[in-house]
């Protein structure tokens, strides 16, 4: 490969730059940007054809403006120049780059791109939102990077994706570059095990270039090692025609290509360029990879990064130290101080090879089994100005009985810093033997993931509203115009919940999409009731009918004699209007809350009858024409000598009206109050205000001339 430079494709490979990590820390805020700028400078010095990034260019899904500006400045400084690009992209670029322009950035006549950058997205900067956009899309729209590997999940069930390669030619060398941005590991795992769910498109045979002449590369960003095999991607899932794989997401630097037995390809894991977690795997030296390809052969060269902050890590077991007394805290402090000093001395010896002097990161994992702990913050105060992380130098742990058998697995687990303290809801429910009765576990876990990682403030609301709508629709379909009792309705809701749980278990995790603009309960009240087959709730137009005239209310009372009988069973005197035994009233309120009604007006008429029946017991026989309703208030004994307080009802309000004209003791029928308050008809706003005042009076005293006014 020494001769024939015009036939050699030179690629600089890096992954997990995590721009913006610790940007609010005064000491470490510039670490990620300095490492990324060094990577770009190496690409410029090595005269590479293009840079290839393996995801997680940014640390946050929505990075700050400062982070975005610094990233754009670095890319503009190194990528925009008049240096000629020596290769060609011969594939259908509209399939490779899913943006408005649909072509590689150096072909744009308005930009001089001398160093093309190809990148996929990771799990930190993955697309989200209604338009499925990532922060990498901003850089792509600025023509600074070529964003590929963005898949659109189609089909039904687990979904289906098609991976189209970017076909690159330079002289006699042909490279097919496949990209696969981050997808939830559980879902991608199932897709690989489902026939025809993942389709790999191969280059077509052309004159002078057969299919076997292409050098096939893949860059992906997924879990590689995991205790649970369903939560990672096995190397054996990948097709055998691949020649070289760049594996992102894993932060430990294993940059030397490793052959997978029986598969025929090699895997390189460059690791992160900045330490995002103080663990053993991150303390290893950071590198980037220079890959030179000629024909079907390649030559890897690892290049160390010198701008990375030095990091020293060690583990100690206190019970193995003979000079420490378990009851003497000072002896523990003295020993830990000696360990820190040794690590600082070790770091100073290696600083000669680095570009500039930086405060080192120091982490000591202390097994304190049988000993007392000390305050890590107080211990680190003496090292302020000597180390970059004085507040968390020490981390205390206890050796469990199972650690001896699974030590190796645990070490590999710790190399994934973003999952160290992460536990999904399914695991919590399984540990505590809990039984979810309202929301399916998978839906709640997805909502939590979107709320925390995607900054979706409507995640939980959308999850709840999505499940409420499903329950309403299923109850409405099964009702067949027959009314449920309260107990039967609760059982029916439980059955709907079990059906939804079964449906979620058959779907892949992450396939449930909650509507981001889900309507609230009030929004659903305006839906017209087409019949009992659709989910309905109280409608303003329908409830206004028995309110405007006494005749419809009279017909409604005749049709609901059971409601009258139950309500009339109450005695006179104190406590009237409380409705302690009104089963029909409770049922009407519950049905209304669930959006169920057996007919178009039965719920509103039943509510009107329930309120009015209390007034019928005390209405005067002279008011049979519906012109007034009155009541003598006996709520307090010391007011018994006052004149009887009477109030004339507005004209046009009959005895069948839903507007109560009673004054006196506050009613306990809060459910009726809430139900009636939902009627937000613009024409009855004033009447609703009067209703609230009548149902919640502040015990006003009647004036003495009230009786005279009545006479």
Query: How deeply is 235 buried, as exposed, middle or buried, from its count of CB atoms within 10 A (0-12, 13-18, 19+)?
Result: middle
Exposure class string for 451-476: b at 16+ Cβ within 10 A, else e:
bebeebebbbbbbbbbbbbbbbebbb
Q: How far apart are CA 520 and CA 524, in angstroms?
A: 7
Q: Are strands 311-317 and 361-367 parallel, antiparallel or unpaired?
A: parallel
Query: How deeply is 419 buried, as exposed, middle or buried, from its count of CB atoms within 10 A (0-12, 13-18, 19+)?
Result: middle
Tell me which residue of 693, 567, 577 sits closest to 635, measured CA to CA. 577
From residue 549, how far is each of 20, 528, 653 by CA, in Å? 67, 22, 7
- Please answer whether residues 308 and 356 qualify as being in contact, where contact means their C-beta atoms are separated by less than 8 angstroms: no
Q: How far apart are CA 359 and CA 311, in angstroms?
A: 9
From residue 367, how far is each of 280, 283, 318, 375, 626 by CA, in Å? 15, 19, 6, 15, 85
Question: So which residues are the catalytic ones?
Answer: 124
Q: How far apart are CA 113 and CA 78, in angstroms?
A: 9
From residue 224, how far is each of 257, 268, 278, 373 by CA, in Å? 15, 12, 20, 35
From residue 322, how far is each of 332, 364, 367, 396 by CA, in Å? 11, 18, 14, 19
Beta bridge partners of residue 370, listed in sequence order: none
Q: Which two tokens stand for residue 34?
A: 């300095």
Give the helix/strand (H/E) hosting 304.
strand 297-304
Q: How far apart are CA 118 and CA 145, in angstroms?
A: 6
3-class DSSP assignment, residue 25: coil
List strands edge to edge, sheet with 254-259.
88-89, 166-170, 173-180, 215-221, 244-248, 266-269, 254-259
From residue 277, how far is each of 28, 280, 389, 414, 430 by CA, in Å? 13, 9, 12, 9, 28
- Please answer whether residues 303 and 436 qualify as being in contact, where contact means their C-beta atoms are separated by less than 8 angstroms: no
Residue with tokens 């100073």: 348
Give the helix/strand (H/E) hosting 244.
strand 244-248
Question: Phi and psi dihedrals of 161, rounded to 5?
Answer: -130, 150
Give the helix/strand (H/E) hosting 686.
helix 685-695
Q: How far apart are CA 705 and CA 118, in angstroms?
A: 88
Q: Which two tokens stand for residue 269?
A: 């894991």
Q: Which residues contact 506 (CB under 8 A, 6 or more apart)?
A: none
Q: How far apart are CA 104 and CA 545, in angstroms?
A: 65
Q: Which two tokens stand for residue 619?
A: 């209405």
């Amino acid at each position: 490969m020494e001769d024939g430079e015009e036939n050699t494709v030179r690629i600089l490979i890096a992954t997990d730059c995590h721009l913006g990590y610790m940007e609010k820390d005064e000491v470490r805020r510039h670490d990620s940007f300095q490492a990324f700028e060094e990577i770009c400078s190496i690409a410029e010095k090595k005269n590479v054809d293009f840079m290839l990034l393996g995801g997680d260019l940014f640390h946050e899904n929505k990075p700050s403006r400062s982070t975005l500006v610094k990233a754009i400045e670095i890319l503009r400084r190194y990528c925009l120049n008049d240096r000629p690009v020596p290769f060609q992209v011969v594939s259908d670029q509209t399939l490779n780059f899913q943006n408005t322009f649909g072509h590689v950035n150096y072909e744009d006549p308005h930009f001089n791109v001398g160093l093309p950058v190809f990148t996929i997205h990771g799990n930190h900067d993955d697309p989200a939102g209604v338009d499925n956009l990532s922060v990498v899309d901003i850089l792509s729209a600025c023509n600074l990077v070529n964003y590929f590997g963005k898949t659109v999940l189609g089909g039904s069930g687990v979904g289906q994706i098609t991976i189209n390669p970017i076909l690159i030619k330079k002289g006699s060398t042909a490279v097919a570059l496949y990209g696969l941005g981050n997808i939830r590991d559980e879902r991608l795992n199932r897709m690989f095990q489902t026939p025809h769910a993942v389709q790999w498109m191969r280059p077509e045979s052309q004159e002078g270039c057969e299919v076997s002449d292409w050098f096939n590369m893949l860059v992906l960003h997924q879990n590689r090692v995991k205790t649970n095999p369903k939560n990672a991607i096995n190397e054996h899932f990948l097709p055998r025609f691949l020649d070289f794989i760049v594996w992102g997401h894993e932060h430990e630097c294993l940059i030397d290509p490793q052959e997978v037995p029986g598969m025929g390809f090699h895997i390189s894991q460059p690791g992160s360029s900045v330490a995002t977690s103080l663990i053993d795997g991150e303390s290893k030296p950071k590198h980037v990879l220079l890959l030179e390809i000629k024909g079907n052969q390649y030559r890897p060269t690892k290049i160390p990064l010198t701008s990375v902050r030095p990091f020293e890590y060690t583990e100690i077991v206190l019970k193995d130290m003979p000079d420490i007394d378990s009851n003497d805290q000072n002896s523990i402090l003295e020993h830990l101080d000696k360990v820190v000093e040794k690590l600082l001395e070790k770091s100073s010896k290696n600083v000669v090879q680095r570009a500039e002097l930086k405060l080192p990161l120091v982490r000591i994992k202390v097994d304190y089994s049988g000993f007392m702990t000390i305050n890590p913050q107080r211990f680190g105060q003496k090292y302020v100005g000597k180390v970059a992380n004085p507040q968390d130098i020490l981390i205390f742990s206890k050796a469990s009985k199972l650690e001896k058998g699974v030590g190796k697995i645990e070490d590999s687990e710790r190399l994934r810093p973003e999952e160290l303290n992460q536990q999904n809801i399914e695991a919590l429910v399984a540990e505590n033997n809990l039984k979810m009765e309202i929301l399916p576990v998978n839906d709640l876990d997805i909502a939590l993931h979107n709320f925390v990682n995607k900054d979706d403030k409507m995640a939980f609301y959308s999850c709840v509203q999505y499940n409420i709508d499903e329950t309403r629709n299923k109850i409405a379909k099964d009702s067949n115009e027959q009314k449920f009792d309260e107990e039967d309705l609760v059982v029916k809701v439980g059955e709907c919940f079990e059906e939804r749980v079964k449906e979620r278990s058959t779907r892949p995790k992450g396939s449930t999409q909650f509507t981001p603009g889900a309507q609230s309960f009030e929004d659903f009240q305006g839906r017209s009731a087409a019949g009992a087959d659709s989910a309905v709730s109280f409608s303003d137009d329908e409830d206004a009918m028995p309110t405007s005239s006494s005749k419809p209310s009279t017909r409604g009372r005749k049709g609901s004699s059971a409601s009258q009988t139950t309500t009339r069973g109450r005695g006179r005197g104190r406590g009237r209007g409380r409705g302690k035994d009104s089963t029909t009233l409770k049922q009407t309120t519950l049905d209304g809350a669930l959006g169920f009604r057996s007919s178009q007006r039965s719920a509103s008429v039943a509510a009107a009858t329930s309120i009015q029946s209390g007034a019928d017991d005390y209405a005067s026989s002279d008011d049979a024409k519906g012109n007034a309703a009155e009541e003598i208030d006996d709520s307090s004994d010391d007011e018994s000598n006052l004149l009887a307080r009477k109030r004339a009802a507005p004209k046009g309000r009959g005895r069948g009206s839903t507007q109560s004209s009673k004054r006196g003791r506050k009613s306990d029928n809060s459910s009726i109050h809430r139900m009636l308050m939902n009627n937000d008809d613009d024409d009855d706003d004033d009447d609703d205000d009067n209703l609230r005042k009548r149902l919640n009076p502040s015990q006003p005293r009647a004036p003495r001339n009230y009786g005279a006014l009545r006479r």
